[in-house]
Structure 1
Amino acid sequence: MMQIEDSQILEKFADEHTRHEAFSLLLKKYQQKIYWHIRRLVIDHDDADDLTQDVFVKVWKYLANFRSDSQLYTWLYRIATNECLTFLNKKKQKNNVPLDEVSHDLADTLTEGSYFNGDKIQMKLQQALLTLPEKQRLVFNMKYYDDLKYEEISEITGTSVGALKASFHLAVKKIEAFLLSND
């Protein structure tokens, strides 16, 4: 199947007669990427599934206002990232626990979840990621898993490229230390 360009999706979305077709194309192109971006941040499949739906409800609602001053996928990632951060902060406040304890709960979910079928190395990497501060984990996921450039991550997070490089470097060092200490 030939990959449709974002500009074509936006063009079709602008026309009321082809709006549903355009949204269907957008879902086909981005839904899985957005789901995995969210899943790596919130870990739990059901939460990731719910958040992915929330993201695309917002996309449907606001896509007509998209100004094209950024790329469509960075706009989608920004929405998904903000939804995840809001979700994690609500979870932290609801349980009235520090984020590192929420991360510990998420690590438990990793081992219990029937949707996670990674090998031991992947499991250790995920556990290491959960020890990272939120920002470092976010940057590491976008760079390592989504293969985004620092400039794209900067657009999504509103953080300078220099700060992102520093966050990524620190994240890698912490992950290495975690993996070496848990051998």
Structure 2
Amino acid sequence: MVSPAVEGVRSGVLATSSEARGGEQLSLRADALLARRSALGDRQAFAELVQRHGAALYRYSVRMLGGAHHAAEDALQEALTKAWLHLPSFRGEASVKTWLFRLVANECLTMRRRRGPTAVDDKVLVSIPADARSEPDTMSLATDLRDALDVALGELPWRQRASWMLREVEGLSYEEIAEILGTSVAVVRGQLHRARANLAFRMEDWR
């Protein structure tokens, strides 16, 4: 069963109270303050953290689990539950955002190990010949390209895919990615280089 918080992330709407505290809107508070208030049991503060970062966390989960939305929801729900339980011991050595991403990344990896690899249909990677496209067909070309990219991403080794997603989609720094994946900046750079090369090869027909 999907929790209300995860359901809010999926729909893009998360209900939060508009009541001001101390003359400030809760939605404008910094992550660090929200984390401290959450650690004290403030559910509204935690809801604001989810609202700030939930969409990115869910997007990452979906891509890392091969587009399996239910599995991504389960992974995100488990990660958010752990975040709520462990916030009192969060020491702030990394940013709250990085910490949340690491929890989600770990849950996705655990779930992927349970499920095993996802079969990939190579036919999706083959582009439609230009002379075979009618005008209505071109309207769905962007969707086809996105689907092909998703398949190509699914072919990448786990760390390459994670590094590419966190850098190219979420725009995180090399240092943040290294923290999330529990590795070094040098390893992240190497994984990204290989991921970009592999994707360029896999997407050759779409150039």
TM-score (norm 1): 0.82
- C-alpha distance in 2 between matches for 1:62 and 1:11: 11
Shift of 1:27: 1.4
Unaligned runs of 5+ in 1: 93-98, 109-117
| Correspondence 1:9 to 2:9 | no
Which letter maps to 1:153?
I
RMSD (Å) for aligned C-alpha atoms: 2.1
Does the CA-based 8 Å contact 2:38-2:84 persist in structure 1? Answer: no
| Correspondence 1:138 to 2:154 | no
Name the % identity.
28
- C-alpha distance in 2 between matches for 1:14 and 1:57: 13
Structure-2 residue corresponding to 1:113: none
Q: State which of 82, 88, 96 in structure 1 corresponds to 2:106.
A: 82
1:117-140 Cα offsets, whole Å, 9 max, x none, are x61211111111111111101111
- C-alpha distance in 2 between matches for 1:126 and 1:24: 30
Does the CA-based 8 Å contact 2:40-2:88 persist in structure 1? Answer: no
Unaligned runs of 5+ in 2: 1-24, 125-141
| Correspondence 1:38 to 2:61 | yes
Which letter maps to 2:62?
R
Provide closer, same or farther for how the CA distance between residues 177 and 14 of structure 1 changes in structure 2, counting only shifts above 3 A. Answer: closer
Shift of 1:28: 1.3
Does the CA-based 8 Å contact 1:103-1:131 persist in structure 2? Answer: no
Shift of 1:104: 2.3
Structure-1 residue corresponding to 2:93: 69
Return the index of the structure with the highest Cα Rg: 2
Matches within 5 A, 1:1-183: 3-16=28-41, 19-42=42-65, 43-92=67-116, 99=117, 102-104=118-120, 119-181=143-205
- C-alpha distance in 2 between matches for 1:15 and 1:83: 25
Does the CA-based 8 Å contact 1:59-1:76 persist in structure 2? Answer: yes
Does the CA-based 8 Å contact 1:9-1:23 persist in structure 2? Answer: yes
Which letter maps to 1:104?
V
- C-alpha distance in 1 between matches for 2:163 and 2:182: 12
Structure-2 residue corresponding to 1:115: none
Q: Which runs of at least 4 in structure 1 moved beyond 6 Å after TM superposition? A: none
- C-alpha distance in 2 between matches for 1:150 and 1:78: 14
Which letter maps to 1:34?
L
Compare the two structures and name the one with the higher helix fraction. Answer: 1
- C-alpha distance in 2 between matches for 1:90 and 1:11: 34
Which letter maps to 2:40?
D
TM-score (norm 2): 0.73
- C-alpha distance in 2 between matches for 1:11 and 1:160: 28
Of the structure 1 ranges 158-167 and 7-16, higher mean CA displacement relative to structure 2 is found in 7-16
Shift of 1:149: 0.6
- C-alpha distance in 2 between matches for 1:74 and 1:120: 32
